[in-house]
Amino acid sequence: MVNKFVIVLKKIGRAWFILLVLAIIIVAFYNYIAAIVLTSITLVLFLLSYIPSLFFKSKVLHYIKKFYRIKDSDVIKKFPKNQEKVKNILFELAQDQEKKDWLIVFVDNHYIFYHKDAVEKYKNFYHKGLGEKKLFEVLTKIDIETRAEIKAIETTLKAQNRLDDPLTSSHA
């Protein structure tokens, strides 16, 4: 009996929007003002449902900024109930990071976040003319694990025009 009730609730949960529209139409036949109020309340509740996701995104960003380097798997350990949300947030942040001072790269099916200090260190050593192998040796101090990460950082910074020469840069 309980299982049938749960199944009915799940079906209602999936079709809540259709049921709500039908309820508003039925109420509108009898009382226009009540239908308008019901619609207004529904819209407000619908808009309010997006607020927690905005807070969660800023919470994830605030958390990852505490680290020099952090993988998505480590972030997921902090937020285990929201694994897909964390991956989606890191994807969104990686797409829109041109004007940011931190960096997110995608290496070996993992997103890796680098703090602004790590990015600046990379840029400084890169501009000193160090090769990929030497960069890897120097940057292992900030927990860079593979040379593929060095290559991904370089590729991402170049793609975003963030690896400009400090001599030609206007940031003096």
**DSSP string of 2-64, one letter each residue:** HHHHHHHHHHHHHTHHHHHHHHHHHHHHH-HHHHHHHHHHHHHHHHHTTHHHHHHHHHHHHHH
So what's the pLDDT on residue 81?
A: 82
Q: Is the pLDDT of residue 158 over 80?
A: yes
What counts of helices (H) and strands (E) characterise the chain?
9, 3
Closest CA to 71 of 51, 58, 86, 49: 86
> Rounded distance, CA 30 to CA 21, Å?
15
Tokens of 109: 């099916």
Contacts of 112 (CB under 8 A, 6+ apart): 69, 70, 71, 72, 104, 105, 106, 149, 152
Strands, sheet with 103-107, edge to edge from the N-terminal-most edge strand = 69-71, 110-114, 103-107
| Strand partners for 69 | 114
Give 127: exposed, middle or buried? Use CB within 10 Å, 0-12, 13-18, 19+: middle
Q: Could you tell me the CA-to-CA distances from 155 to 18, 29, 159 in Å, in that order?
A: 47, 61, 6
So what's the pLDDT on residue 171?
A: 44
Residue 9 neighbours by CB distance under 10 Å: 10
Q: Is the pLDDT of residue 49 over 80?
A: no
So what's the pLDDT on residue 101?
A: 87
> Rounded distance, CA 63 to CA 55, Å?
12
Mean pLDDT of 24-50: 86
- Of the pLDDT bands very low, low, confident and very high (cuts 50, 70, 90), residue 125 is confident
> Rounded distance, CA 161 to CA 98, Å?
8
Q: Is the pLDDT of residue 141 over 50?
A: yes
Mean pLDDT of the chain: 82
Q: Is the pLDDT of residue 170 over 60?
A: no
- Tokens 């207004």, residue located: 40
Q: Is the pLDDT of residue 6 over 70?
A: no
- Of the pLDDT bands very low, low, confident and very high (cuts 50, 70, 90), residue 113 is very high
So what's the pLDDT on residue 98?
A: 83
51 vs 167: which has the higher pLDDT:
51
Q: Is the pLDDT of residue 172 over 50?
A: no
So what's the pLDDT on residue 169?
A: 45
Q: Is the pLDDT of residue 16 over 80?
A: no
